[in-house]
Amino acid sequence: MYTLSNYRFENWARNVRSKPHTYFLPDNTDDVQAIVKRAIAEGRKVRVVGAGHSWSAVAATDDFMVSLDKLNSIAHADKETLQVTVQGGIRLKHLHRLLYQMGLAMQNIGSISEQSIAGAISTGTHGTGLDFGILASQVVALKLVNGVGELVELKAGDADFNAAAVSLGCMGIITEVTLQCMDLYHVEEVATPVLFEDMTSNLLTWAKGAQHPKVWWFPHTKHAMLYSYTKVSDGIRDTFAKQYIDDGVVSKLLFRGFLSMGHISHGFRPLVNRVIGTIFLKKISRVNLNYKVLNVPMPPRHREAEYAFPLDKAPEVLNRLHTLINTQKLKMNFVLEVRFTKADEFLLSACNGQDSCYIGFYYAGEKNWNSYLKLFEEIAMEYSARPHLGKEFTVDAAYLHTVMPGIKQFNALRQTYDPHGVFENGFTQQLF
Ligand SMILES: Cc1cc2nc3c(=O)[nH]c(=O)nc-3n(C[C@H](O)[C@H](O)[C@H](O)COP(=O)(O)OP(=O)(O)OC[C@H]3O[C@@H](n4cnc5c(N)ncnc54)[C@H](O)[C@@H]3O)c2cc1C
């Protein structure tokens, strides 16, 4: 097993850094068990890191950091049940290509696929669609190394499964995940610009009727983009040239360029957004493989908070945010994103017990971020909204205990799986 003593951890957004005492790259499950036992013997803590794509300090540690980057393959595929067992460190983008070769696909995915499978399920990562749960809902079984170094297998329906599948690395190190996949499918994307007021007044009817609905609104513009993604049986209707222009030229060059202009002068931001809006606000229709359409190109580095709101409150909240941004003259420089997720029973999930509308509040740069985040959270708290634990939030444990019905039970179970507190870090200590 490879180890490093001078590793420096930095997350994707570069807002979280730590200096692990030792960084481990285990070759197999025995190595993972040995790391946990060594940590207990030496009185150290262990954090497992995936792709480091969380904005919260959930993966950071100055003690032992474990990466499953070498445990990144498919362990077993059952062509009858369409269930595929993968090692915990596999990156979603790698998994999509392997599934494609077997004629399979994940049922739903988020905006990007840089994450590891275990990292993605552990924070409750979600895509969009009221008939679809968070990514952890696709998990039918998992194996983890608990806080005394034992390998434990849990299946959906087992008593502790709903704690372990979304567990922020606190119940153990997930070494294997079995996913319920489906036959490979194509997705049609239709994007339509509509007036902001029309979007909010028809939001719920539209979201309930669409398979994978998503809204992007560039603050300071009058229009929002409604994206509707639907599984279709016909083949690819997308060109390489179009993908290149949309992903490479428009997203990478133009968007980044305009963002930099906004950085030079804050006063430019509303104008810059209107220019970007004019470029992006056009009707789009294309068909491609599920992951090529549901994923977006990697965005420029930015800050993110995202809260799950009770579904029926979504239009009201969006109108409040619209008013907030305009009356307080917030110089927002990124889209506001709206997505939808079905209720579930995972103890730490933001959608526990309720269909939810996720509203993502994004911002590029440092200036103003903390004060803007606070304003967003003041509104979120009025609606008892629950934060995405892999993104930024400043609400305290008392608030989380009020709005997340499963957190107390999770905390009790966590202590049985991890009696020495070996998987704790500063973030989890604050949370629990
Ligand atoms: C550009 C971008 C776009 C994003 N889009 C979405 C989106 O569409 N939807 C959404 O919901 N989120 C989204 N996210 C957030 C992201 O999906 C989550 O933060 C996710 O948890 C990151 O996965 P990771 O592999 O990087 O895990 P990390 O950030 O490295 O770790 C996250 C947590 O998982 C734990 N963990 C990692 N591996 C294991 C393991 N083997 N066993 C047990 N615990 C483990 C870690 O300890 C930590 O607690 C996005 C993030 C970025 C940067």
Least confident of 119-133, 220-234, 410-424: 220-234
- Residue 60 clears pLDDT 90, i.e. is over it: yes
Q: Which residues line ligand 1 (CB under 6 A)?
A: 12, 47-54, 58-59, 68, 88, 110-112, 115-116, 118-120, 122-123, 125-126, 168-169, 173-174, 299, 388, 390
The crossing angle, in degrees rounded to 10, of helices 369-382 and 314-327 is: 150
Mean pLDDT score, 92-99: 98
Residue 234: the pLDDT is 73
Q: Which atom of ligand 1 is nearest to the CA of 12?
A: 53
Ligand 1 atom nearest 52 alpha carbon? 30
CA of 153 to the centre of ligand 1 (A): 22
210 inside domain:
yes
Q: Is pLDDT above 70 for 251?
A: no
Query: Does the pLDDT of residue 426 top 90, yes or no?
Result: yes
Percent of the chain at pLDDT exceeding 90: 85
- Read off the pLDDT of each residue in 189-208 and give the average, rounded to a whole number: 96
Establish if 15 belongs to a structural domain: no
pLDDT digits (tens, 9 = 90+) for 63-87: 999 999 999 999 999 999 999 999 9
Q: Is the pLDDT of residue 319 over 60?
A: yes
Distance CA 1, CA 242 (A): 44
- For strands 22-25 and 64-67, give the pairing: parallel
* Å from CA of 125 to ligand 1 middle: 7
What's the CA-to-centroid distance between 71 and ligand 1, angstroms? 17
Q: Which residues of 371-404 are buried (b: 16+ CB within 10 A; e: fewer)?
A: ebbebbbebbeebebbbbbbbbbebeeebbeebb
Task: Kindly tell me if the per-residue pLDDT of 48 is higher than 70.
Answer: yes
Give residues with Cβ within 8 angstroms of 360, minimum separation 6: 304, 305, 306, 336, 337, 338, 339, 391
Whether 323 shows a pLDDT value over 90: the answer reads: yes
Cα 164 to ligand 1 centroid, rounded to whole Å = 15
Residue 246's pLDDT is: 63
CA-to-CA distance for 224 and 96, rounded, in angstroms? 30
pLDDT of residue 366: 86
State yes or no: pLDDT of 250 exceeds 80: no
What pLDDT digit, counting tens, does each position of 334-354 carry?
A: 999 999 999 999 999 999 999
Given a cut of 60, is residue 427 above it in pLDDT? yes
What is the per-residue pLDDT for 312?
98
**The three-state (H, E, C) secondary structure of the chain, written as one string:** CEEECCCCEECCCCCCEECCCEEEECCCHHHHHHHHHHHHHHCCCEEEECCCCCCCHHHCCCCEEEECCCCCCEEEEECCCCEEEEECCCEHHHHHHHHHHCCEECCCCCCCCCCEHHHHHHCCCCCCECCCCCHHHHEEEEEEECCCCCEEEEECCCCCHHHHCCCCCCCCEEEEEEEECEECCEEEEEEEEEEHHHHHHHHHHHHHHCCEEEEEECCCCCEEEEEEEEEECCCCECCHHHHHHHHHHHHHHHHHHHHHHHHHCHHHHHHHHHHHHHHHCCCEEEEEEHHHHHCCCCCCCCEEEEEEEEHHHHHHHHHHHHHHHHHCCCCCCCCEEEEEECCECCCCCCCECCCEEEEEEEECCCCCHHHHHHHHHHHHHHCCCEECCCCCCCCCHHHHHHHCCCHHHHHHHHHHHCCCCCCCCHHHHHHC
Are 137 and 117 in contact, with CB atoms under 8 Å apart?
Answer: no
Instruction: Answer whether residue 427 is part of any domain.
Output: no
d(CA 432, CA 424): 10
**Domain count of the fold of the chain:** 1
Identify the weakest region by mean pLDDT among 45-49, 110-114, 209-213, 237-241.
Answer: 237-241
Q: What is the pLDDT of residue 235?
A: 79
Is residue 120 included in any domain, yes or no? no
Q: What is the mean pLDDT of the chain?
A: 93
In a domain, 16, yes or no: no
Nearest CA to ligand 1 atom 52: 53
Q: Is residue 303 part of a domain?
A: yes
* Residue pLDDT, tens place only, 158-182: 999 999 999 999 999 999 999 999 9
pLDDT confidence of residue 244: 60
Q: What is the pLDDT of residues 252-296, one digit of tens each?
A: 655 666 566 555 566 666 777 667 667 666 777 899 999 999 999
Cα–Cα distance measured from residue 131 to residue 343, given in angstroms and rounded to the nearest whole number: 9
User: Hey, which of 106, 113, 123, 175 would you mutate to test ligand 1's pocket, going by the most ligand atoms within 8 Å of its Cβ?
Assistant: 123
Q: In which domain, by residue range, is 383 found?
A: 186-397
> Domain for residue 406, yes or no?
no
Local confidence band at 367 (pLDDT 50, 70, 90 cut-offs): confident
CATH code for position 340: 3.40.462.10
Which residue type does 342 have?
A: K
Query: Does the residue 347 lie in any domain?
Result: yes
State the pLDDT at residue 238: 78
